[in-house]
Amino acid sequence: MLTDGLLIQSTLRGLKSTLMVGEPPYGRLNAGIKVPNSAFESVYENSGVLLEGLTCHTILKISRQQVLIYMASRYLRTSDIAREFGVHPNTIRLYESWGYLPAVPRGKNGYRQYTVLHLEQARLAILALQWPYLVADKDLLVSLVKSAASGDLGMAMELAYQYLAHVRVERTYAEAAIEFLERWAAGHVMDTSRQTMHISQAAKHLNVTVDMLRNWERNGLIDVPRDSSNGYRLYGTTEFGRLRVIRMLVKSGYSQMAILRMLRQFDAGKTDNLREALYVPMHEDEYIDAIADRWLASLVKLEERAQAIIQQIGRMIEMAYSN
């Protein structure tokens, strides 16, 4: 609980806010409740405010049922916006030129005059377009950001839910591929073909290209036996089962490095926790850089970020509606 006359100094990436608590009875300062920025007094039927995101000098008088908020009006500079997100000011200028921000008015001195709406739009743009994201959905994310910048927050919300659905589909594929892997690792037969085939026949049987089979072998994912009489590769039931696992993992987004790490563990007789081997290094000094090297874990984070995008657009809608 707050005490009488408590003065709280909050600095968010260089944007200072001063919060003064008034007379009792006191409420709590609760995270998670967004306070719209405005240049006028507003009374909110709430018991808390969010410290994060305040960009102006602020005095708060907190009671049990009301929060009295006054924000002194001032424009933000390009450097203010850039500092908030830890980017170069030129990045914010590029966002403006690309249509990721609403039109920015200029003062008599020619300086840009950003408002809190520009700040929150920049927050959305960085949240949506920072790497990593589903590459196939880049155009969708750009459209989402531009829709919000043009004031069509309803369309931005629709697109945000479309992106969330796509991430969830990718996650479902990734988890299904792991279940397929675990079934194979448990000893189940994954292919009914009983005759051996040469590489061109095997490629046709699996609906892949000859180059793909050679590439997987060259990268150590499979060791194909050879015909002793002519040296040609011979693919049988064992090879087809392993190749089906490889193909499904590749199609589901896992990198060949992650698959190789898992298969090495399998070949060593360690069949427990193969899903972890797909994104956990075998050695402490092993460096994992690509998103596909930890695909399932990355998809979990992408889904969390998609939810954060939806929440951000929701806050922007509330701000627009309150004004």
Q: What is the pLDDT of residues 245-267, one digit of tens each?
A: 999 999 988 888 889 989 999 99
Which of 62, 64, 93 is closest to 77 using CA atoms? 93
- Residue pair 44/26 in contact (Cβ under 8 Å)? The answer is no
Please tell me the distance from the alpha carbon of residue 323 to that of residue 317, in angstroms, as a whole number. 10
What is residue 140's predicted lDDT score, i.e. its pLDDT?
97
Q: Quote the pTM value.
A: 0.67
Q: 293 pLDDT band (50/70/90 cuts)?
A: low
- Taken in order 119, 124, 125, 126, is the CA torsion positive or negative? positive
Q: Is the peptide bond before 281 cis (omega within 30 degrees of 0)?
A: no
pLDDT at position 220 over 60: yes
Give percent of the chain with pLDDT exceeding 90.
51
**CATH number belonging to domain 78-166+301-322:** 1.10.1660.10
Please tell me the distance from the alpha carbon of residue 107 to that of residue 297, in angstroms, as a whole number. 47
- Sequence ranges of the domains in the chain: 7-71, 78-166+301-322, 172-298
pLDDT at position 51 over 80: no
What is residue 320's predicted lDDT score, i.e. its pLDDT?
85
Please tell me the distance from the alpha carbon of residue 63 to that of residue 149, in angstroms, as a whole number. 36
172-298 matches 78-166+301-322 in CATH topology:
yes
**CATH number belonging to domain 172-298:** 1.10.1660.10
Q: What is the mean pLDDT of residues 184-199?
A: 88
What is residue 74's predicted lDDT score, i.e. its pLDDT?
65
Residue listed under structure tokens 């102006």:
56
Residue listed under structure tokens 């290209």:
209
What is residue 4's predicted lDDT score, i.e. its pLDDT?
28
Please tell me the distance from the alpha carbon of residue 84 to that of residue 55, in angstroms, as a whole number. 9
- Residue pair 248/208 in contact (Cβ under 8 Å)? The answer is no
> What's the mean per-residue pLDDT of the chain?
76
Q: 44: part of which helix (H) or strand (E)?
A: strand 42-44
| φ, ψ dihedrals at 2, nearest 5° | -90, 155
Q: Which two tokens stand for residue 146?
A: 């531009």
Q: 123 pLDDT band (50/70/90 cuts)?
A: very high
Q: 25 pLDDT band (50/70/90 cuts)?
A: very low
pLDDT at position 64 over 70: no
| φ, ψ dihedrals at 50, nearest 5° | -95, 125
Q: 136: part of which helix (H) or strand (E)?
A: none
What is residue 274's predicted lDDT score, i.e. its pLDDT?
85
Q: 280 pLDDT band (50/70/90 cuts)?
A: low
Q: What is the mean pLDDT of residues 114-123?
A: 93
What is residue 122's predicted lDDT score, i.e. its pLDDT?
96
pLDDT at position 195 over 70: yes
- More confident: 106 or 2: 106
